[in-house]
Amino acid sequence: MATQSGIYHQTYESDMQLRPTTAQRVRMVLVIAFVLVLPLLVSQNEVRIVNKVMIAAIGAIGLNILVGYTGQISLGQGAFLAVGAYGCGLLMVYFQVPWGLALMAGALITAVVGGLFGLPSLRLKGLYLAVATLAAQQIVEWIIIRWDPIDGTIDGKATDALRIPSNFLFGNSAWRLNDNEYAFYYFVFVVLAIVVIGSVNLFRTHYGRAFIAIRDQDIAAEVMGVNLFYYKVLAFAVSSFLVGLAGGLTTIHSTAISFERFTIDVSIAYLAMIIVGGLGSISGAIYGAIFIEILPEILRSIGQALVQNRLVSDQVFVTVLPFVQQGTFGLLIILMLIVEPEGIRKLWSNIKDYFRLWPFSY
């Protein structure tokens, strides 16, 4: 079993391990093997969905660092995604920066912008801060819609969309990241792995511990010697860096980007991910991203199956589907919060505990 009791560490090295038991290591190898062969088993369209899930997972981990670990509510996720996406895209379009460099630069720019919007967090708490980040969302969205130079032209006509140049992995023209889902899949998986390892380790350093202390009780943390101003702004910057990375990856993955992908609804979807998955947990952010991104696709395929079996007409399917998706999304959030406020991660560990302790569950 993945969780086992009676583990006694005898050296500091074994105590520091992220995966101390053999069972956990076996499971990790199995997961990695599964991820490596997954694209061979499913269609291109399904790989595209998995890619979107992995990008969302990076963004959700970023948001979870801010909301789940540091306790600063943010409704400006869409705005920070947009800063990363447009930062990366504009550098590529106007300055012909190579995509790898543009991606990192976009993430860094987002970190700076995020830190800037994090400045009020020293004085504002809870709901007041949430609405201040809503201001970030509105202002960034407005700039994208209104400021013409950051929009591009398509076929000579000015549009709200920014056309993204081709990005090749290792300069190989067969691996075009914009639409070769398989190439992008392996690339984004490596990025996700680095992000996961990095953020899991972040909370084993004094920075991460300071974030958690601020979440639990900020005045107590300050008394204990945590510099609130420094660490709150740092939390905003670190979180925004990852969110910007997710935004930049969206850019590299697409042929054009426009503001519709970064609205307040996106901020809400990301919040839903970390809450449904589990606040204050890296694995929770990943579970949540999988759940929230795949749910509409599952509903769509159920609907398509119904249409094929002549149970509903095409017309009904098209008009009803968006509302069913939206309603299910809302209903699941409500049910999740009422049934298990700590999210899928907790449900999963409850299931594991049940089997681990079976048949003596006390």
Burial class (CB in 10 A: 0-12, 13-18, 19+), 339: exposed
Q: Which of 37, 41, 127, 174 binds other proteins (CB under 8 A)?
A: 127
257 three-state secondary structure: strand
Instruction: Work out whether 268 is an interface residue with other proteins (CB under 8 A).
Output: yes
Residue 235 is encoded by which pair of tokens? Answer: 């939390």
Q: Which of 170, 323, 358, 360 binds other proteins (CB under 8 A)?
A: 323
Instruction: Work out whether 216 is an interface residue with other proteins (CB under 8 A).
Output: no
Q: Which of 100, 165, 198, 330 binds other proteins (CB under 8 A)?
A: 330
Q: Provide, rounded to whole angstroms, the least separation between the CB of residue 331 and other proteins.
A: 6
- Indicate the residue among 88 and 279 with the shorter CB distance to other proteins: 279
Instruction: Work out whether 61 is an interface residue with other proteins (CB under 8 A).
Output: no
Q: Which of 193, 220, 298, 311 binds other proteins (CB under 8 A)?
A: 220
Instruction: Work out whether 131 is an interface residue with other proteins (CB under 8 A).
Output: yes
- Indicate the residue among 174 and 334 with the shorter CB distance to other proteins: 334
- Indicate the residue among 138 and 349 with the shorter CB distance to other proteins: 138
User: Measured between alpha carbons, how far is 85 from 107 in angstroms, rounded to an integer?
Assistant: 9
Q: Provide, rounded to whole angstroms, the least separation between the CB of residue 277 and other proteins.
A: 12
Q: Which one-letter amino acid corresponds to residue 66? A: L
Residue 5 is encoded by which pair of tokens? Answer: 């009791």
Taking the CB of residue 173, how many other CB atoms lie within 10 A of it? 9
- Indicate the residue among 190 and 338 with the shorter CB distance to other proteins: 338
- The answer to whether 209 touches 203, Cβ cutoff 8 Å, is yes
- Indicate the residue among 46 and 160 with the shorter CB distance to other proteins: 160
- The answer to whether 147 touches 139, Cβ cutoff 8 Å, is no
- Indicate the residue among 275 and 286 with the shorter CB distance to other proteins: 275
User: Measured between alpha carbons, how far is 59 from 274 in angstroms, rounded to an integer?
Assistant: 10
Greatest Cα pair distance, the chain, in angstroms, is 71
Beta pairing, strands 157-158 & 162-163? unpaired
- The answer to whether 253 touches 178, Cβ cutoff 8 Å, is yes
Q: Provide, rounded to whole angstroms, the least separation between the CB of residue 147 and other proteins.
A: 11
- Indicate the residue among 41 and 127 with the shorter CB distance to other proteins: 127
The DSSP element (H or E) to which 98 belongs, if any, is none
CA atoms within 13 A on the CB side of 186: 12
Instruction: Work out whether 123 is an interface residue with other proteins (CB under 8 A).
Output: yes
Chain mean position to CA 345: 16
Residue 216 is encoded by which pair of tokens? Answer: 């639990």
Residues within window 152-191 making contact with other proteins, judged by CB under 8 A: none
Residue 84 is encoded by which pair of tokens? Answer: 């990363």
Q: Provide, rounded to whole angstroms, the least separation between the CB of residue 310 and other proteins.
A: 21
By the criterion CB under 8 A, which residues form the site for other proteins?
A: 67, 73, 120, 123-128, 130-132, 134-135, 138-139, 142, 145-146, 217, 219-220, 223, 264, 268, 271-272, 275, 279, 319-320, 322-324, 326-334, 337-338, 341
